[in-house]
Amino acid sequence: MVTIAQLEAIPFLDGSALHGRFIPSLTFHDVDWRLWIAAGNQGEMLLEMKGVPAEACYFARDAESKNDLYIPFFDFLAQRVNFLQMQRAFGGIKDDIFNLSGSLAKLALLEQSHDAVPHGLSRMAAGEVEYFMVVLRSLFDLFQEVLMKLWDTVKLFDASVRKQKLKPSFADMLTFKGEPADAAMIAQRFGLPMEVAAQYARARTIFDGLKKIRDNLVHNGSQLPHIFGGEGPFVIALRDNPFPNLGIWEEAERQTNDLVPLLPVLEILLCRSFLVCDELAAAFQRMIQLPPPIAPGMSFFARGYFTGRLVGAIASGHRRANLSPLSPSTEH
* pTM for this model (two decimals): 0.90
43: Cβ–Cβ under 8 A, 6 or more apart, which residues?
Answer: 1, 2
Both ends of the chain: CA-CA distance in Å?
49
The per-residue pLDDT for range 267-285, each reduced to its tens digit, is 999 999 999 999 999 999 9
Q: What is the average pLDDT across 210-222?
A: 70
pLDDT at position 182, please?
96
Work out the widest C-alpha separation in the chain, in whole angstroms. Answer: 67
Return the pLDDT at 323: 55
- Top mean-pLDDT range of 124-133, 200-209, 250-259, 274-283: 274-283
pLDDT digits (tens, 9 = 90+) for 99-129: 999 999 999 999 888 878 878 888 899 889 9
**Structure confidence at residue 131 as a pLDDT band (50, 70, 90):** very high
- 79, 287 contact by CB (below 8 A): no
**Burial readout 245-280 (b: 16 or more C-beta within 10 A, e: otherwise):** ebebbeeeeebeeeebbbbbbbbbbbbbbbbbbbbb
> Looking at this protein, which amino acid is placed at residue 192?
L
Looking at residue 43, what is its pLDDT? 76
Give the start-end residues of each E strand in 225-266.
227-228, 235-237, 259-261
What pLDDT does residue 314 have? 94
User: What is the arithmetic mean of pLDDT over 223-247?
Assistant: 76
pLDDT the model gives residue 117? 84
Give yes or no for a contact between 136 and 217, defined as CB atoms under 8 angstroms apart: no
Q: Pick 327 or 217 by higher pLDDT.
A: 217
Give Cα separations from 82 to 54, 192, 241 (angstroms). Answer: 24, 22, 38
Least confident of 176-180, 199-203, 210-214: 210-214
Give the pLDDT confidence score for residue 326 in this predicted structure. 32
Q: Specify the higher pLDDT residue, 137 or 208.
A: 137
Mean pLDDT of 185-213: 90
Q: Residue 329 pLDDT more than 70?
A: no
Gap between the Cα atoms of 308 and 68, Å rounded: 6
pLDDT at 327: 33
* SS3 at position 83: strand
pLDDT for res 328: 32
More confident residue, 210 or 188: 188
Bridge partners for 303 per DSSP: 56
Distance (Å, whole) CA 44 – CA 42: 5
| Angle between helix 194-202 and 183-190 (nearest 10) | 130
**From residue 18, how far is each of 83, 146, 153, 236, 295 by CA, in Å?**
9, 18, 18, 50, 10
Q: Share the mean pLDDT of the chain.
A: 89
What whole-number distance in Å separates Cα of residue 254 and Cα of residue 252? 6
pLDDT at 218 over 70: no
